[in-house]
Chains A and B, each alone.
Chain A
Amino acid sequence: MNRFDDFLNEDFDGETPDTESRILLEKLRDLEDAPPPADLTDRIMRRVQAGKPPEKSGVIPVFRRWAPVAAAVILILGATPVLLGQFGPDQPELAERLPEQNAAEDPVTVAVAPENPLPGTYVPPEKVAAYFEQWDADLVNEMETYAGQAPDETTALMAALPEDSLGYGYYESPYEDPLSALVGF
Protein backbone atom coordinates (compact mmCIF):
# COMPACT_ATOMS: atom_id res chain seq x y z
CA MET A 1 0.00 0.00 0.00
CA ASN A 2 1.47 3.36 -0.99
CA ARG A 3 1.34 6.62 0.96
CA PHE A 4 -1.70 7.89 -0.90
CA ASP A 5 -3.66 4.71 -0.12
CA ASP A 6 -2.57 5.03 3.50
CA PHE A 7 -4.00 8.54 3.50
CA LEU A 8 -7.32 7.43 2.01
CA ASN A 9 -7.50 4.63 4.54
CA GLU A 10 -6.84 7.09 7.36
CA ASP A 11 -9.21 9.74 5.99
CA PHE A 12 -12.12 7.37 5.46
CA ASP A 13 -11.68 5.65 8.83
CA GLY A 14 -10.54 2.39 7.30
CA GLU A 15 -13.49 2.23 4.91
CA THR A 16 -13.00 1.98 1.17
CA PRO A 17 -13.73 5.40 -0.31
CA ASP A 18 -16.46 5.59 -2.93
CA THR A 19 -15.22 5.53 -6.52
CA GLU A 20 -16.10 9.16 -7.22
CA SER A 21 -14.15 10.40 -4.20
CA ARG A 22 -11.19 8.24 -5.04
CA ILE A 23 -11.05 9.46 -8.64
CA LEU A 24 -11.39 13.05 -7.51
CA LEU A 25 -8.60 12.79 -4.94
CA GLU A 26 -6.33 10.97 -7.39
CA LYS A 27 -6.87 13.80 -9.86
CA LEU A 28 -5.92 16.21 -7.10
CA ARG A 29 -2.79 14.18 -6.36
CA ASP A 30 -1.81 14.15 -10.03
CA LEU A 31 -2.22 17.87 -10.64
CA GLU A 32 0.79 19.02 -12.59
CA ASP A 33 3.04 21.74 -11.29
CA ALA A 34 3.37 24.93 -13.28
CA PRO A 35 7.01 25.69 -14.03
CA PRO A 36 8.12 28.71 -11.99
CA PRO A 37 9.77 31.57 -13.92
CA ALA A 38 13.28 30.59 -14.99
CA ASP A 39 14.94 33.51 -13.23
CA LEU A 40 12.99 33.18 -9.99
CA THR A 41 15.89 31.65 -8.06
CA ASP A 42 18.25 34.42 -9.21
CA ARG A 43 15.76 37.10 -8.18
CA ILE A 44 15.23 35.46 -4.80
CA MET A 45 18.98 35.32 -4.23
CA ARG A 46 19.40 38.96 -5.18
CA ARG A 47 16.67 39.90 -2.73
CA VAL A 48 18.22 37.76 -0.03
CA GLN A 49 21.57 39.43 -0.60
CA ALA A 50 20.17 42.94 -0.59
CA GLY A 51 16.88 42.73 1.27
CA LYS A 52 15.17 44.40 -1.68
CA PRO A 53 11.45 44.37 -2.57
CA PRO A 54 10.24 41.80 -5.16
CA GLU A 55 11.69 42.15 -8.61
CA LYS A 56 9.66 41.72 -11.76
CA SER A 57 11.02 40.76 -15.11
CA GLY A 58 11.31 43.31 -17.94
CA VAL A 59 11.31 47.08 -17.58
CA ILE A 60 9.98 47.25 -14.04
CA PRO A 61 13.14 45.94 -12.31
CA VAL A 62 15.21 48.55 -14.12
CA PHE A 63 12.82 51.24 -12.96
CA ARG A 64 12.77 49.84 -9.44
CA ARG A 65 16.53 49.59 -9.31
CA TRP A 66 17.02 53.21 -10.34
CA ALA A 67 13.93 54.68 -8.70
CA PRO A 68 15.71 55.56 -5.42
CA VAL A 69 18.55 57.24 -7.34
CA ALA A 70 16.05 59.19 -9.46
CA ALA A 71 14.13 60.21 -6.35
CA ALA A 72 17.34 61.40 -4.68
CA VAL A 73 18.35 63.44 -7.75
CA ILE A 74 14.90 65.06 -7.97
CA LEU A 75 15.00 65.84 -4.26
CA ILE A 76 18.45 67.39 -4.49
CA LEU A 77 17.57 69.42 -7.59
CA GLY A 78 14.37 70.59 -5.96
CA ALA A 79 16.01 71.48 -2.70
CA THR A 80 19.07 73.22 -4.13
CA PRO A 81 17.42 76.59 -4.89
CA VAL A 82 15.93 76.65 -1.43
CA LEU A 83 19.26 75.73 0.12
CA LEU A 84 20.91 78.48 -1.87
CA GLY A 85 18.33 80.94 -0.66
CA GLN A 86 16.79 81.60 -4.07
CA PHE A 87 13.28 80.76 -2.93
CA GLY A 88 13.63 82.01 0.64
CA PRO A 89 11.04 84.45 2.04
CA ASP A 90 12.39 87.68 0.56
CA GLN A 91 15.73 87.17 2.24
CA PRO A 92 18.03 88.31 -0.58
CA GLU A 93 15.92 91.39 -1.08
CA LEU A 94 16.10 92.28 2.60
CA ALA A 95 19.77 91.51 2.85
CA GLU A 96 20.47 93.89 0.00
CA ARG A 97 18.66 96.73 1.69
CA LEU A 98 20.55 99.47 3.39
CA PRO A 99 20.75 99.25 7.18
CA GLU A 100 18.85 102.53 7.41
CA GLN A 101 15.93 101.04 5.55
CA ASN A 102 15.80 98.11 7.90
CA ALA A 103 16.26 100.41 10.85
CA ALA A 104 13.21 102.36 9.81
CA GLU A 105 11.16 99.19 10.02
CA ASP A 106 12.76 97.53 12.97
CA PRO A 107 15.15 99.84 14.77
CA VAL A 108 15.55 97.64 17.81
CA THR A 109 16.62 94.55 15.94
CA VAL A 110 18.99 96.38 13.67
CA ALA A 111 20.54 98.43 16.43
CA VAL A 112 20.96 95.52 18.83
CA ALA A 113 22.04 92.95 16.31
CA PRO A 114 23.45 94.87 13.37
CA GLU A 115 25.41 91.82 12.25
CA ASN A 116 22.15 90.09 11.43
CA PRO A 117 19.74 92.79 10.30
CA LEU A 118 16.80 90.58 9.40
CA PRO A 119 13.42 91.38 10.90
CA GLY A 120 12.16 88.66 13.14
CA THR A 121 15.60 87.77 14.49
CA TYR A 122 15.41 86.82 18.14
CA VAL A 123 17.22 89.24 20.43
CA PRO A 124 17.77 88.29 24.07
CA PRO A 125 15.97 90.66 26.50
CA GLU A 126 19.18 91.54 28.34
CA LYS A 127 20.72 92.74 25.11
CA VAL A 128 17.69 94.87 24.39
CA ALA A 129 17.79 96.27 27.91
CA ALA A 130 21.47 97.15 27.52
CA TYR A 131 20.67 98.88 24.26
CA PHE A 132 17.96 100.98 25.82
CA GLU A 133 20.13 101.81 28.82
CA GLN A 134 22.71 103.17 26.45
CA TRP A 135 20.01 104.92 24.48
CA ASP A 136 18.65 106.44 27.70
CA ALA A 137 22.10 107.64 28.70
CA ASP A 138 22.59 109.19 25.29
CA LEU A 139 19.26 110.90 25.65
CA VAL A 140 20.18 112.32 29.04
CA ASN A 141 23.46 113.57 27.63
CA GLU A 142 21.68 115.10 24.72
CA MET A 143 19.19 116.81 27.03
CA GLU A 144 22.02 118.13 29.16
CA THR A 145 23.70 119.37 26.04
CA TYR A 146 20.60 121.21 25.09
CA ALA A 147 19.81 122.40 28.64
CA GLY A 148 18.49 125.88 28.67
CA GLN A 149 17.80 125.74 24.99
CA ALA A 150 14.50 125.08 23.37
CA PRO A 151 14.25 121.31 22.82
CA ASP A 152 14.18 120.26 19.26
CA GLU A 153 11.47 117.95 18.03
CA THR A 154 13.44 114.74 18.51
CA THR A 155 14.49 115.53 22.05
CA ALA A 156 10.94 116.40 23.00
CA LEU A 157 9.71 113.17 21.50
CA MET A 158 12.21 111.07 23.42
CA ALA A 159 11.44 112.82 26.66
CA ALA A 160 7.77 112.08 26.16
CA LEU A 161 8.30 108.33 25.97
CA PRO A 162 6.77 106.41 28.86
CA GLU A 163 9.32 104.59 31.00
CA ASP A 164 7.75 101.16 30.56
CA SER A 165 8.22 101.38 26.84
CA LEU A 166 11.90 100.68 27.34
CA GLY A 167 13.65 97.37 27.82
CA TYR A 168 11.00 94.85 26.77
CA GLY A 169 12.49 93.74 23.53
CA TYR A 170 10.23 95.80 21.33
CA TYR A 171 9.56 99.42 20.75
CA GLU A 172 6.15 100.67 21.77
CA SER A 173 6.19 104.22 20.52
CA PRO A 174 2.93 104.80 18.65
CA TYR A 175 4.74 107.29 16.49
CA GLU A 176 7.14 104.72 15.08
CA ASP A 177 4.87 101.72 15.02
CA PRO A 178 3.53 101.41 11.45
CA LEU A 179 0.45 99.52 12.58
CA SER A 180 -0.40 102.07 15.26
CA ALA A 181 0.19 104.82 12.78
CA LEU A 182 -2.24 103.19 10.41
CA VAL A 183 -5.00 103.01 13.00
CA GLY A 184 -4.63 106.67 13.81
CA PHE A 185 -2.29 107.17 16.75
Chain B
Amino acid sequence: MTVTANTTISRDAERILRTIAGEEKAFRELVDEYGGLVYNFIFKMTRNPEMADDLTQEIFVKAYRKLDSFDRTRPFRPWLLRIASNTTFSELRRRNKVVSISTLEEENPVFEVQDTSETADTARIVEERLSSRLVLDAISALDPRYRQVLLLRYREQLSYEEIAEVTGAPLNTIRTWLRRGREALRQQVRGLLDP
Protein backbone atom coordinates (compact mmCIF):
# COMPACT_ATOMS: atom_id res chain seq x y z
CA MET B 1 0.00 0.00 0.00
CA THR B 2 1.36 3.40 -0.95
CA VAL B 3 2.06 6.29 1.38
CA THR B 4 -0.78 8.27 -0.23
CA ALA B 5 -3.22 5.43 0.33
CA ASN B 6 -2.16 5.11 3.96
CA THR B 7 -2.54 8.84 4.46
CA THR B 8 -6.05 8.70 2.99
CA ILE B 9 -6.98 5.78 5.24
CA SER B 10 -5.77 7.53 8.38
CA ARG B 11 -7.41 10.82 7.42
CA ASP B 12 -10.75 9.09 6.76
CA ALA B 13 -10.41 7.04 9.95
CA GLU B 14 -9.87 10.23 11.92
CA ARG B 15 -12.97 11.82 10.31
CA ILE B 16 -15.00 8.74 11.11
CA LEU B 17 -13.87 8.76 14.72
CA ARG B 18 -14.83 12.41 15.03
CA THR B 19 -18.21 11.69 13.44
CA ILE B 20 -18.89 8.85 15.87
CA ALA B 21 -17.91 11.22 18.67
CA GLY B 22 -20.75 13.49 17.50
CA GLU B 23 -18.92 15.99 15.33
CA GLU B 24 -21.18 16.38 12.30
CA LYS B 25 -18.65 18.61 10.56
CA ALA B 26 -16.38 15.59 10.19
CA PHE B 27 -19.08 13.67 8.33
CA ARG B 28 -19.67 16.67 6.10
CA GLU B 29 -15.98 16.48 5.15
CA LEU B 30 -16.53 12.85 4.09
CA VAL B 31 -19.61 13.83 2.09
CA ASP B 32 -17.70 16.68 0.45
CA GLU B 33 -14.88 14.35 -0.52
CA TYR B 34 -16.87 11.28 -1.64
CA GLY B 35 -20.25 12.73 -2.61
CA GLY B 36 -19.16 13.29 -6.20
CA LEU B 37 -17.73 9.78 -6.45
CA VAL B 38 -20.95 8.17 -5.27
CA TYR B 39 -23.18 10.43 -7.34
CA ASN B 40 -21.20 9.78 -10.52
CA PHE B 41 -20.94 6.06 -9.90
CA ILE B 42 -24.75 5.87 -9.70
CA PHE B 43 -25.21 8.28 -12.58
CA LYS B 44 -22.96 6.21 -14.86
CA MET B 45 -24.69 3.05 -13.73
CA THR B 46 -28.19 4.39 -14.30
CA ARG B 47 -27.90 7.47 -16.57
CA ASN B 48 -30.62 8.89 -14.37
CA PRO B 49 -29.71 12.10 -12.49
CA GLU B 50 -32.77 11.97 -10.23
CA MET B 51 -32.00 8.43 -9.18
CA ALA B 52 -28.37 9.41 -8.63
CA ASP B 53 -29.51 12.29 -6.44
CA ASP B 54 -31.93 10.23 -4.36
CA LEU B 55 -29.65 7.23 -3.97
CA THR B 56 -26.62 9.33 -3.06
CA GLN B 57 -28.54 10.75 -0.13
CA GLU B 58 -29.75 7.31 0.88
CA ILE B 59 -26.25 5.83 0.65
CA PHE B 60 -24.69 8.47 2.88
CA VAL B 61 -27.45 8.09 5.45
CA LYS B 62 -26.82 4.33 5.47
CA ALA B 63 -23.07 4.90 5.73
CA TYR B 64 -23.60 7.31 8.63
CA ARG B 65 -25.68 4.75 10.51
CA LYS B 66 -23.12 1.99 9.92
CA LEU B 67 -19.99 4.01 10.60
CA ASP B 68 -19.34 2.39 13.95
CA SER B 69 -19.12 -1.03 12.26
CA PHE B 70 -16.56 0.18 9.70
CA ASP B 71 -13.05 -1.24 10.04
CA ARG B 72 -11.00 1.95 10.23
CA THR B 73 -7.79 0.18 9.26
CA ARG B 74 -9.24 -0.36 5.77
CA PRO B 75 -9.90 2.19 3.02
CA PHE B 76 -13.23 3.99 3.20
CA ARG B 77 -13.82 4.28 -0.56
CA PRO B 78 -14.49 0.58 -1.38
CA TRP B 79 -16.66 0.28 1.73
CA LEU B 80 -18.75 3.26 0.65
CA LEU B 81 -18.90 2.00 -2.93
CA ARG B 82 -20.14 -1.35 -1.65
CA ILE B 83 -23.10 0.40 -0.01
CA ALA B 84 -23.55 2.36 -3.25
CA SER B 85 -23.44 -0.82 -5.32
CA ASN B 86 -25.92 -2.70 -3.12
CA THR B 87 -28.30 0.23 -2.99
CA THR B 88 -28.11 0.83 -6.73
CA PHE B 89 -28.66 -2.82 -7.60
CA SER B 90 -31.58 -3.02 -5.20
CA GLU B 91 -33.15 -0.07 -6.97
CA LEU B 92 -32.42 -1.51 -10.42
CA ARG B 93 -33.94 -4.82 -9.36
CA ARG B 94 -36.96 -3.00 -8.03
CA ARG B 95 -37.31 -1.42 -11.45
CA ASN B 96 -36.67 -4.78 -13.18
CA LYS B 97 -33.49 -3.55 -14.82
CA VAL B 98 -31.38 -6.56 -13.83
CA VAL B 99 -31.60 -9.90 -15.58
CA SER B 100 -29.60 -12.96 -14.61
CA ILE B 101 -26.21 -13.39 -16.21
CA SER B 102 -27.20 -16.85 -17.48
CA THR B 103 -30.27 -15.41 -19.22
CA LEU B 104 -28.12 -12.68 -20.68
CA GLU B 105 -25.60 -15.15 -22.07
CA GLU B 106 -28.31 -17.33 -23.55
CA GLU B 107 -29.73 -14.33 -25.32
CA ASN B 108 -26.34 -12.91 -26.32
CA PRO B 109 -23.96 -15.72 -27.28
CA VAL B 110 -21.55 -13.05 -28.50
CA PHE B 111 -20.06 -13.06 -25.02
CA GLU B 112 -18.86 -16.61 -25.53
CA VAL B 113 -17.72 -16.19 -29.14
CA GLN B 114 -15.06 -13.55 -28.81
CA ASP B 115 -13.95 -11.71 -31.87
CA THR B 116 -10.85 -9.78 -30.97
CA SER B 117 -9.72 -9.33 -34.54
CA GLU B 118 -9.13 -5.77 -35.56
CA THR B 119 -7.77 -3.84 -38.40
CA ALA B 120 -5.95 -0.53 -38.41
CA ASP B 121 -9.19 0.96 -39.70
CA THR B 122 -11.36 -0.10 -36.76
CA ALA B 123 -8.85 1.25 -34.25
CA ARG B 124 -8.63 4.54 -36.14
CA ILE B 125 -12.42 4.84 -36.44
CA VAL B 126 -12.84 4.12 -32.75
CA GLU B 127 -10.25 6.70 -31.82
CA GLU B 128 -11.69 9.37 -34.07
CA ARG B 129 -15.38 8.91 -33.53
CA LEU B 130 -15.72 7.56 -30.04
CA SER B 131 -17.04 10.40 -27.90
CA SER B 132 -17.62 10.27 -24.16
CA ARG B 133 -21.33 10.21 -24.80
CA LEU B 134 -21.01 7.24 -27.10
CA VAL B 135 -18.92 5.40 -24.50
CA LEU B 136 -21.63 6.07 -21.94
CA ASP B 137 -24.29 4.91 -24.38
CA ALA B 138 -22.34 1.74 -25.04
CA ILE B 139 -21.72 0.96 -21.39
CA SER B 140 -25.33 1.73 -20.50
CA ALA B 141 -26.44 -1.02 -22.87
CA LEU B 142 -24.45 -3.66 -20.97
CA ASP B 143 -25.69 -5.85 -18.18
CA PRO B 144 -25.35 -3.81 -14.95
CA ARG B 145 -22.85 -6.27 -13.48
CA TYR B 146 -20.50 -5.92 -16.44
CA ARG B 147 -21.10 -2.19 -16.41
CA GLN B 148 -20.22 -2.01 -12.74
CA VAL B 149 -16.93 -3.93 -12.90
CA LEU B 150 -15.79 -2.01 -15.98
CA LEU B 151 -16.47 1.33 -14.27
CA LEU B 152 -14.86 0.25 -11.02
CA ARG B 153 -11.81 -1.09 -12.77
CA TYR B 154 -11.09 1.46 -15.48
CA ARG B 155 -12.87 4.60 -14.29
CA GLU B 156 -12.33 4.33 -10.54
CA GLN B 157 -9.17 2.23 -10.90
CA LEU B 158 -9.91 -0.24 -8.14
CA SER B 159 -7.88 -3.42 -7.71
CA TYR B 160 -9.47 -6.84 -8.15
CA GLU B 161 -9.57 -7.22 -4.38
CA GLU B 162 -11.32 -3.88 -3.96
CA ILE B 163 -13.83 -4.73 -6.70
CA ALA B 164 -14.48 -8.05 -4.98
CA GLU B 165 -15.09 -6.13 -1.74
CA VAL B 166 -17.49 -3.75 -3.48
CA THR B 167 -19.45 -6.38 -5.39
CA GLY B 168 -19.21 -9.26 -2.94
CA ALA B 169 -18.24 -11.56 -5.84
CA PRO B 170 -15.19 -13.89 -5.81
CA LEU B 171 -12.00 -12.78 -7.57
CA ASN B 172 -12.38 -15.31 -10.39
CA THR B 173 -15.89 -14.07 -11.07
CA ILE B 174 -14.57 -10.51 -11.22
CA ARG B 175 -11.95 -11.55 -13.78
CA THR B 176 -14.59 -13.33 -15.86
CA TRP B 177 -17.01 -10.40 -15.71
CA LEU B 178 -14.23 -8.00 -16.71
CA ARG B 179 -13.20 -10.12 -19.69
CA ARG B 180 -16.77 -10.55 -20.89
CA GLY B 181 -17.59 -6.94 -20.11
CA ARG B 182 -14.69 -5.69 -22.23
CA GLU B 183 -15.79 -7.86 -25.13
CA ALA B 184 -19.42 -6.82 -24.76
CA LEU B 185 -18.37 -3.17 -24.67
CA ARG B 186 -16.29 -3.59 -27.81
CA GLN B 187 -19.22 -5.19 -29.64
CA GLN B 188 -21.55 -2.47 -28.43
CA VAL B 189 -19.23 0.30 -29.59
CA ARG B 190 -18.82 -1.32 -32.99
CA GLY B 191 -22.58 -1.52 -33.28
CA LEU B 192 -22.97 2.14 -32.42
CA LEU B 193 -20.22 3.30 -34.77
CA ASP B 194 -21.43 1.18 -37.67
CA PRO B 195 -25.16 0.71 -37.23
Contacts and interface: CB of A to CB of B under 8 A. Distances in A.
Given A20-B122, A20-B123, A40-B39, A31 B136 contact: yes
Given A4-B157, A34-B49, A45-B31, A51 B127 contact: no
Interface string A40-56: 11011101110100111
B32 interface: yes
Interface stretch (A22-30, A79-87, A101-109, A129-137): A22-30
Interface in B164-195: 178-179, 182, 185-186, 189
A33 B31 contact: no
A36 interface: yes
Contact of B44 (A19, A31, A36, A47): A31
Contact of A31 (B56, B60, B123, B135): B135
Nearest to A49: B24
Contacts of B74: none
A45 B25 CA distance: 9
Contacts of A27: 130, 132, 135
B36 A36 contact: yes
Contact of A21 (B60, B135, B155, B182): B182
Nearest to A10: B160
Given A18-B116, A33-B36, A23 B53 contact: no
Contacts of B182: 11, 21, 24-25
Interface residues of B, number: 46
B150 interface: yes
Contacts of A3: 157
A7 interface: yes
A46 to B, nearest CB: 9
Given A7-B157, A28-B150, A44 B57 contact: yes
Contacts of B179: 11
Interface string B27-60: 1100110011001100110000100111011101
7 contacts: A3-B157, A7-B157, A18-B118, A28-B135, A28-B150, A36-B36, A44-B35
Given A24-B182, A36-B36, 19 more contacts: A24-B185, A24-B186, A27-B135, A28-B151, A28-B185, A29-B154, A32-B132, A33-B40, A34-B43, A34-B49, A36-B35, A37-B53, A40-B57, A41-B31, A41-B35, A44-B60, A45-B27, A48-B60, A49-B24
Interface of A: 3-4, 7, 10-11, 18-21, 23-25, 27-37, 40-41, 43-45, 47-49, 51, 54-56
